[in-house]
Amino acid sequence: AEEGFAIHEVTAGHIKKEFEKFPADVQAIYGLDGRALKAGERLVQKDLAASLRQIARDKAFAVHGGKLGVAIVRTMKETGGFVTLDDLKNNRAEWWNPVSIDYRGHQVLAASAPTNGWNTLLRIGMMGQWDLPKLGHNSAEYLHRFAEVTKRAFITRLRHAGDPDVSPPPFGRLLSLQFWREEVAALDLQRAVPFVPPGNSTSTGNHTTHYVVADRWGNVVSATQTLGNLFGSRIMVKGTGIWLNNSLAYSTFEPKGNPMDVFPGRRKLAGYSPMMILRNGRPSVALGTPGGHTIVQTSAQIVMNLLDFKMDIQRAVAAPRMSFIEPDLLVLDEGVPAAVHAALTKRGHKVETRKVGNAHGLTIEWNAAGQPVKFTGGSDPRGEGVAIGY
């Protein structure tokens, strides 16, 4: 952050799109000579570097009661917000056990509610009712099934997503073989069925990132972080380099039924799906992606690429994929053959081509003594990430 780095085209595009909405002090960071930074130019964030050093020194207290917290509260007050320093002091991280399913001899784990990770597992479990290699990777038969499975999974999310302390999803049923078979039996394997949500629905953020990290001992982190929309609320805490997110923007309240609505004393739902795959009780894969409603679809496809189609992590992350976009659009990645486009269109899908997701993942190999002996990273060619070993 302090020394800066040369930005790529995607980041330059994000900055250009929002630059005119930034206040002057922020334009000075993200611009040069009064205009937005261009690809190849350096983004230097000295204030952010100082904030990161403060967090490294003071740990959580830096935000939850320390100088950064005081600055955040001041900015919130100046811009009409209502978060107080006591709110930050009283906030505590929570530990939740993951949800998991057994799939092809592996234990596939996802973050528990209030995230939507379980909805990724639902898709995988439903797709597991077929011999996927026999269908063929990214064949019309395969992608049609996944599109229809995704519609059913979205409907299930709208019905059952909730704060685990208020309205916990019934995982015992939703992640059971019986439920998967019931859902699959209801699918039309020949024609696209219109998506009819049981309640209000809304899309989620487009300024999200995902990273995976492993250390030499085989400890693994799979983490998703979001600002909400591009640059969040477009409000930066002065002197810190820290943006404030705007995830409350996805609350609509009227009509009722939007699972993204927030209420006092409840946890806010999140569309994230950081995942791990265990083999013999040890982490063998960690993966995840940004992408709003595409997250739970992209993550599921990567898991199937790994376990059904035996791809390595780089191929699994880079392989062409699809995403159903509510209410009726099927987005196919670049690289899906034209013949598949035509076949899906013939089945009643409205098809469009664009890039889907920006995933990252890693794999770990262990020896007989239970020691990690090889780490392999996979970085999505659709984005600007990279896999690095130190």
| Catalytic residue set | 208
CA atoms within 13 Å, Cβ hemisphere of 333: 22
Tell me how far the alpha carbon of residue 59 is from its chain's centroid.
26
Adjacent-strand bridge partners of 115: 270
Pull the structure tokens for residue 20.
């005119």
Cα(117)–Cα(299) distance, rounded to whole angstroms? 9
Adjacent-strand bridge partners of 236: 243
Cα(205)–Cα(191) distance, rounded to whole angstroms? 30
State the pairing for strand pair 329-332/235-237: unpaired
Beta strands in the chain (DSSP E): 5-6, 31-32, 35-36, 42-43, 99-103, 106-110, 208-214, 220-226, 235-237, 242-244, 275-279, 282-288, 322-325, 329-332, 350-353, 360-366, 372-379
* Cα dihedral: 249, 255, 259, 265 (round 10): 80
CB 364 within 8 Å of CB 312: no
Cα(151)–Cα(79) distance, rounded to whole angstroms? 39
- List phi, psi (to 5°) of 350: -90, 110
Q: CA-based Rg of the chain, rounded to a whole angstrom?
A: 22
Number of H helices, E strands in the chain: 13, 17
Cα(152)–Cα(162) distance, rounded to whole angstroms? 17
State the pairing for strand pair 242-244/275-279: unpaired
Adjacent-strand bridge partners of 322: 332
**Residue 308 per-residue DSSP state:** T
CB 297 within 8 Å of CB 130: no
Cα(68)–Cα(156) distance, rounded to whole angstroms? 40
